[in-house]
Amino acid sequence: MKKSLVAVFAIWSLCPSLEAQSFTSNLPLGLSLRYEHKNQKSQQVTGYSELTYRADNRGRVEERLKNRKPDGELFQEKFSLFSQRGELLEYREKDYRKQVEVTDLYRQGRIETRIKRGDFERQFTLDQAPQLVPFEVLTLYLESRLSDLVRDKSIQFTLYLPYLGLESPELTQIPVLAQLESLGPEKSPRGGKEEVAMILVMPSSPMLQMLLPPDKSQFRFGFFTKAPRLLYSFSEAQTLSVLKSVK
């Protein structure tokens, strides 16, 4: 989605007032989650992710994500640091395949972003607005709004994709729509079956919806509807990621 939308997203931007977002109740402290990635057409396993939540010695929460190939080789790492109040303080990403590094620092209502690809580096700053949702906390944000979404209430917000800043900082803010797509039981790694809410996220602009094929412009997130409301699945284009273990 990121590369496919670059050309048309240039016409969109949104700059509301400042506000920090808190995810205190959505951070599953102490848990380790493992997701399996599979090609939906071939059903071939393409890799897996390890996601952990731990507290540091200052009471802050560290979220670490490691993406691996089927043979276990690490190809991407992501790190998010949250304050004791659940506010995102910093985000760091390293993609060893593409030689890309992303750093976001959240300071006094501002987001300071640095992106590096090979020898090329770009830095820029933008306001942290109430309807601006960084991609790195998108699942936490959707989980925090799940009750509204399950009641069939769609929500709109602006998705911040720092990776697109490699092309231009103006491309990083994307108006999107999230809505309930389905509710139904799924096999749970916690045992038995649990109800899962499937949430569709797509561009809110009818023009963008018309210009872009669905497999290039839509995300689908599945969440357990009972606490803890963990992310059960995520799909984009041909890849489906499903939660396989909770420890």
Domains (range + CATH), the chain: 6-246 (2.40.360)
pLDDT at 2 over 70: no
**pLDDT at site 115:** 97
For the chain, the average pLDDT equals: 90
pLDDT in tens, 34-67: 999 999 999 999 999 999 999 999 999 999 999 9
- The pLDDT of residue 217: 78
Residue 54 tokens read as 């731990």
Q: Give the tens place of pLDDT for each residue, 120-135.
A: 999 999 998 888 999 9
- In angstroms, the CA 119 to CA 173 distance is 25
pLDDT more than 70, % of the chain: 91
> How does residue 205 score in pLDDT terms, banded at 50, 70 and 90?
confident
Q: Is the dihedral of CA 204, 207, 211, 214 positive or negative?
A: positive
- CA proximity to 102, closest of 74, 128, 78: 78
The strand pairing partners of 186, in sequence order, are 194
Question: Would you say residue 138 has pLDDT above 70?
Answer: yes
pTM more than 0.85: yes
Query: Residues 6 or more apart from 225 whose CB is under 8 A from it?
Result: 146, 150, 183, 194, 195, 196, 197
Mean pLDDT of 17-26: 72
Q: Look-up: residue for tokens 């209430």?
A: 153
CA distance 31 to 46: 24
- Residue 211 pLDDT more than 70? yes
Q: What is the mean pLDDT of the segment spanning 104-109?
A: 95
Question: Quick one: how many helices (H) and strands (E) in the chain?
Answer: 5, 15
Give the model confidence (pLDDT) of 74-89 as tens digits.
999 999 999 999 999 9
Longest dimension (CA), the chain: 50
The pLDDT value given to residue 19:
52
Please tell me which residue, 22 or 114, carries the higher pLDDT value.
Answer: 114
Residue percentage of the chain with pLDDT more than 90: 76
Q: Is the pLDDT of residue 11 over 50?
A: no
